[in-house]
Amino acid sequence: MKKLTVMLATVAGLAISAGGALADSTLKMVEVITSPPRTEFLKKQIAEFEAANPGVKVELVSLPWGQAFEKFLTMVQAGDTPDVVEMPERWMGLYANNAQLEDLGPYMAKWDDAKTLGDRAKQFGSTVNNTQFMIPYGYYVNALFWNKKLFKEAGLDGPPATLDEFVADSKKISAIPGKYGYCLRGGPGAFNGMHMFMNIAQGKGGYFNEDGTSTINEEGSVKGLQMLADMYKNGLAPKDAVSWGFNETVTGFYSGTCAMLNQDPDALLGIADKMSADDFAVAPLPVGPSGKSYPTLGYAGWAMFANSQHKDDAWKLMATLLSPKDNLEWAKEVGVVPIHNGADQDPHFKTEQFKGWFTELSDSSKYEMVTPPTHLENLGNFVDQVAIKNFQEVLLGQKTAKEVADQWAAFLTKEQQDWLAKNKK
């Protein structure tokens, strides 16, 4: 997922005068999944907010996504807490479980735009203690980009429908000198896509059984992890893909280096700018032996820190960015599925390029969305640090897929069972 985080911390303010005038305040906003166009667009929305709210200023600071988890955690531990943070879903458990986030329910109860807010936004923002600690700004749904020219050159007339076809097509395309079948992501942000293929091979979505034991080391899941390792070992993905993040995989696709890429709608922004619409398309993800597929649905959104001294101003900024107008513009700019009902009828989302994502979203019998277990306190460090290192060890042959899957299962099982015990009714 290319994904963006924003933080707001009050760094200055004047007391309200006896006459009732509003104090000036400065809100610090930290962006962590950055790109120049995205940053400029965010600045435009901030400027519009400031113009509508005299006396409130927003200072925008960017953190690099690759180091965002550690940098933000260090800031919080040092007492440099924000008023509002744009929270990736997998960080929410850490801060919400430590009583650092504000319950947004009372604010939403008075928010006019809440009436058009989709059910998913309410559901996904309240995964910790059934409390609305966050409101998503959009959804990242995985689908399959495929290069029509390279497929044709390899003698293929369409995207793979099954996991076996995905591997077979990758082999045929990789036989073309200098070309590869798959833009594998082995570096920052790799876990969700990797785990998605493990779920598809397993024929079962999610992370856990009812008793809290992890499914990640079950036989089919290990086969999915081994499939990716074999593809890398056999030259079906570029060798430097072991460290590729979002930008490298997207560049690998639009440059014609590799013919397939599983990604969210945010990748469409860069790809559509570099490739003719006639040369690529977006298809649903291939299905596994069960006949089903399990696309990853990720998200990020806005959350307020509980110790904020300027909660009203912080909420005003959140409400502005999450309004139907601003959210629709944001979704178009950064490549997410918007949060308000009816937004999918906008002409921007009715193009052929969005067909793969909306097919997955509309056919629940074949495509089962999988969201991260955001209620787990230590999920962020696991996904963004530990799992990436382990995945690279598997790709490089330093550890077996089974060894790593067992290690992950032990960690996830303990986290989930501890959480179940703590929340047992």
d(CA 327, CA 330): 5
Q: Which CATH number among 3.30.420.40, 3.40.50.300, 1.10.357.10, 3.40.190.10 corresponds to the domain 7-140+298-353?
A: 3.40.190.10
Contacts of 149 (CB under 8 A, 6+ apart): 256, 279
Q: What is the pLDDT of residue 30?
A: 79
162: exposed, middle or buried (C-beta count within 10 Å: 0-12, 13-18, 19+)? middle
Regions of the chain short of the pLDDT cut 70: 1-23, 425
Q: What is the pLDDT of residue 12?
A: 35
Half-sphere exposure in the Cβ direction for 212 (13 Å, CA): 15
Q: According to CATH, where is 3.40.190.10 located in the chain? A: 7-140+298-353, 143-294+376-422
Q: What is the pLDDT of residue 8?
A: 36
Spell out a b/e string for 208-219, using b for 16 or more CB atoms within 10 Å of the CB, else e. beeebbbbbbbe
Q: What is the pLDDT of residue 425?
A: 60
DSSP 346: S
d(CA 199, CA 217): 11
**Annotation: CATH topology of 143-294+376-422:** D-Maltodextrin-Binding Protein; domain 2 (3.40.190)
Question: Which SS3 state, helix, strand or coil, does residue 258 take?
Answer: strand
For 216-240, how does the pLDDT look when each residue is reduced to its tens digit (9 = 90+)? 999 999 999 999 999 999 999 999 9
Q: Are 250 and 261 in contact (CB under 8 A)?
A: yes
* Residues facing residue 135 across a β-bridge: 302
d(CA 378, CA 366): 31
d(CA 162, CA 218): 20
pTM of the model: 0.77
- Between the alpha carbon of residue 419 and those of residues 207, 348, 380, 408, the distances in Å are 14, 41, 15, 17
Instruction: Identify each DSSP E strand in 142-253 by its residue range.
Output: 143-147, 180-182
- Per-residue tokens: 317: 């900024």
d(CA 234, CA 246): 22
For 372-413, how does the pLDDT look when each residue is reduced to its tens digit (9 = 90+)? 998 999 999 999 899 999 999 999 999 999 999 999 999 999
